[in-house]
Amino acid sequence: MSAVLRADGLSKRFGGLKAVDNVSLTLDEGRILGLIGPNGAGKSTCFSMLAGSTSPTAGRVFLGDREITGLPAFRAARGGVVRTHQIVRPFANLTIFENAVVAAVQCSGLDHAGARALARETLEFAGLAARRNEYPAGLTLAGRKRLEMARALACAPKVLLLDEVIAGVNPAEAQEMVTLILRIRDERKVSIIMTEHVMAAVMRLCERVVVLDAGKLIAAGEPKEIVQNPEVIAAYLGKKHA
């Protein structure tokens, strides 16, 4: 099995805070890797460094054999690494279709006609085709998360980083989101890292899970082992209660 994305010793400091502290991880091709941990553990900051929206203080990122450390986000995206944002931020004054077109133009490398075709096809894939001429404000939270995923897919990624696309949606929508994530892996051949607080979804989707706590990697393994790991339980419940 070959590594499609690899982080070696990634660290990020914000002033005196070590938000991410010497984290290494590997995503194998065709897999879904879970990146979990309590609030403030450093998951989103890791994604920012992997996708080029933040430069690491230390450490390196490789896409296949190619080093992409510190590349700006649009270049990382053209290389094939694209993230979604925990707080979704579509362009409010553009339609759902136009939002997807902008993403495709910026990072797919296609010409305008190609980008429009990719955007149309991506919205179809994400179940948003019927609403393509509406504005994002009319979507539910689950709909806005779907749009965020469609915009990321319109970049034609090899690696997709999904930042909490399930948390906060209702159980039926969560089930649909699980199905969509599996289709992204299987039909689009995209390898995925996902952060998620909904453990049932992590258990269903991820072959491997990496756990962060206060910036440090504290455990890695199969989900069913991870949920029984005393250090992981302590990190989630607080040391006092464990």
Binding site for ligand ATP (CB under 6 A): 14, 17, 19, 37, 39-45, 86
In the complex with ligand ATP, which residue's Cβ is closer, 56 or 101?
Answer: 56
Q: How many CB atoms lie within 10 A of CB 201?
A: 20
Q: How far is the CB of 4 from ligand ATP (least distance, A)?
A: 22
Q: How far is the CB of 37 from ligand ATP (least distance, A)?
A: 6
Phi, psi of 83, rounded to the nearest 5 degrees: -115, 160
In the complex with ligand ATP, which residue's Cβ is closer, 11 or 122?
Answer: 11
C-alpha distance from residue 38 to each of 166, 215, 217 (Å) = 16, 10, 12
Q: How far is the CB of 117 from ligand ATP (least distance, A)?
A: 35
What residues numbered 167-206 form the site for Mg ion, per CB under 5 A?
Answer: none
In the complex with ligand ATP, which residue's Cβ is closer, 129 or 220?
Answer: 220
Stretch of residues binding Mg ion (CB under 5 A), selected from 21-29, 43-51, 62-70, 153-161: 43-51
Closest C-alpha to 216, from 51, 25, 5: 25
Six token digits for residue 116: 């429009």
Q: How far is the CB of 59 from ligand ATP (least distance, A)?
A: 15
Q: Which of 4, 6, 34, 44 binds Mg ion (CB under 5 A)?
A: 44
Q: What angle do CA 17, 36, 32 make, to 5 degrees?
A: 130
Question: What residues contact residue 232 under an 8 Å CB cut-off, 6+ apart?
Answer: 211, 218, 219, 226
Question: What residues contact residue 137 under an 8 Å CB cut-off, 6+ apart?
Answer: 92
Stretch of residues binding Mg ion (CB under 5 A), selected from 41-49, 74-82, 134-142, 200-208: 41-49
Q: How far is the CB of 205 from ligand ATP (least distance, A)?
A: 17
Six token digits for residue 17: 């805070």
Picked from Mg ion, ligand ATP, none, the partner binding residue 42 (CB below 5 to 8 A depending on kind) is ligand ATP
Q: Report the alpha-carbon distance of residue 110 to residue 53 in Å, rounded.
A: 22
Q: Report the alpha-carbon distance of residue 56 to residue 83 in Å, rounded.
A: 16
Question: What residues contact residue 229 under an 8 Å CB cut-off, 6+ apart?
Answer: 211, 219, 221
In the complex with ligand ATP, which residue's Cβ is closer, 81 or 161?
Answer: 161
- Contact code string over 59-98 relative to Mg ion, x by CB under 5 A: ---------------------------x------------
Closest C-alpha to 211, from 229, 238, 190: 229
Q: How far is the CB of 204 from ligand ATP (least distance, A)?
A: 20
In the complex with ligand ATP, which residue's Cβ is closer, 44 or 108?
Answer: 44
Q: List residues near Mg ion by CB under 5 A.
A: 43-44, 86
